[in-house]
Amino acid sequence: MRAAIAGGGLAGAALGWRLAQRGVSVTVFVAGAGRWRDATGASGGLVRGFDTDPDTGRLAAESLAELRGDPRLRDWAGYQEGTSTYLLPPDADVDRARGTLRTVDALLPGSAELRPAAGLAPFRGLPEGTWCVRERYAGHMSPGRLRDSLLRAVADLGGTLRCEPVLGVLPGPALRLGPGVERRYDVVVLATGPWTPRLLDRWGLPGQELSTRQIQYTLGRTVPPGLGAFVDETSGLYGRPVGTGQMLLGLPTTRWGVGPDEVAPDPALVRRVAECAGLRLGLTAWPGPGARTVASLDCYPVGGRGGLALRGCRPDSALYTFAGGGGGAAKTALAAGRLAARTLCSA
């Protein structure tokens, strides 16, 4: 089987690696990877097993178990273990969360527990009845470093990396690579992250209910003692410690449908994050001097379901997208890539 993947972000790299491991002749078009600020290059890199969506939780727990269990992958990803705290609002579906926790427990035994968050330091002012999922085996990684290593591994397994942009797709399936230059493959996958919705539109393909959303976080001084990676659904605040005495903190943005050339940091959101950091974590002077804000985009499934997954573009063609990470797919990429490769090979 000859497969072409457009896009050398973490999704394209993970899928390319899995296909190459299965003996598929794979070509990854990596134009832009690492050069532009793609989602993988900007990613905060938080990894954990738990997610409120059970399917995402399974992929995240499988990916984390593989990452922790394989010294080579740990090194490739620059994985740093810490703890993860996920705060669920009082009206959360706790039975659903328990179901996901059973999956996490099967893959990462003894890692996660669900308990009331009352009195949990360093959080302040949590609504009464807030729940907390604590994970012992979680942390962060560098998605950009993992992507680079996976692409090198694709080449080592005999795959091809081509540093040129894909200019169009044809139902063949085939790729248009220049004026009059078309190349046919058995399978073509667009792993073009937040570029995907506009490329589908430009190339006359169905939209697949994918959109984009801006993601923004700020790196500032001070880390509250004992705080690892966290997501606080009661306020929207999320973050993790970064290196020497810095904390990455963010809140979800409302900027949907943004194009890759239209990303711009939102100063009002930085102020809201600072206010929230004061109220929830007692960080009254955050972000402090030398703060830096990172803004980028990810591809989101409209309606929030599905995450990073293979989606067929046309019933008459082996043309797919592998996108829709929805702001949290770095932690699922290893397992999602394996699942997508298995599906493509069996199809």
Residues 278, 284: contact at Cβ < 8 Å? yes
343: phi then psi, degrees, rounded to nearest 5? -60, -45
Give the nearer residue to ligand FAD in terms of CB position, either 143 or 197. Answer: 143
Residues 65, 57: contact at Cβ < 8 Å? no
Both tokens of residue 184? 């046919």
In the complex, minimum distance from the CB of residue 286 to ligand FAD, in angstroms, rounded to a whole number: 19
Give the nearer residue to ligand FAD in terms of CB position, either 116 or 267. Answer: 267
Give the nearer residue to ligand FAD in terms of CB position, either 90 or 167. Answer: 167
In the complex, minimum distance from the CB of residue 131 to ligand FAD, in angstroms, rounded to a whole number: 21
Both tokens of residue 89? 């609002």
Tell me the one-letter amino acid at 48.
Answer: R
Report the alpha-carbon distance of residue 172 to residue 2 in Å, rounded: 13
Full 3-state SS string of 23-83? CCEEEEECCCCCCCCCHHHHCCCEECCCCCCHHHHHHHHHHHHHHHHCHHHHHHHCCEEEE
E strands in 228-346: 229-232, 238-242, 246-250, 292-301, 309-314, 317-323
Which residues of this chain interact with ligand FAD, rule CB under 6 A?
Answer: 6-12, 29, 31-33, 36, 38-40, 42-46, 143, 165-166, 191-195, 215, 294, 296-298, 323, 325, 327-331
Nearest residue to ligand FAD, scored by beta-carbon proximity = 9
In the complex, minimum distance from the CB of residue 199 to ligand FAD, in angstroms, rounded to a whole number: 6
Residues 235, 273: contact at Cβ < 8 Å? no
Report the alpha-carbon distance of residue 49 to residue 101 in Å, rounded: 8
Give the nearer residue to ligand FAD in terms of CB position, either 193 or 220. Answer: 193
Give the nearer residue to ligand FAD in terms of CB position, either 194 or 241. Answer: 194
In the complex, minimum distance from the CB of residue 231 to ligand FAD, in angstroms, rounded to a whole number: 9
Give the nearer residue to ligand FAD in terms of CB position, either 36 or 256. Answer: 36
Give the nearer residue to ligand FAD in terms of CB position, either 78 or 129. Answer: 78
Residues 107, 65: contact at Cβ < 8 Å? yes
Give the nearer residue to ligand FAD in terms of CB position, either 8 or 88. Answer: 8
Among 252, 323, 305, 335, which residue's Cα sits nearest to residue 53?
Answer: 305
In the complex, minimum distance from the CB of residue 254 to ligand FAD, in angstroms, rounded to a whole number: 15
In the complex, minimum distance from the CB of residue 179 to ligand FAD, in angstroms, rounded to a whole number: 15
Give the nearer residue to ligand FAD in terms of CB position, either 119 or 178. Answer: 178
Mark 228-254 as b/e (b = at least 16 C-beta within 10 Å).
Answer: bbbbbebbebbbbbbeeebbbbbbebe
In the complex, minimum distance from the CB of residue 298 to ligand FAD, in angstroms, rounded to a whole number: 5
In the complex, minimum distance from the CB of residue 233 to ligand FAD, in angstroms, rounded to a whole number: 15
The CA distances from residue 6 to 3, 70, 109, 167, in Å, are 10, 28, 37, 10
End-to-end distance of the chain based on CA atoms, in angstroms?
11
In the complex, minimum distance from the CB of residue 193 to ligand FAD, in angstroms, rounded to a whole number: 2
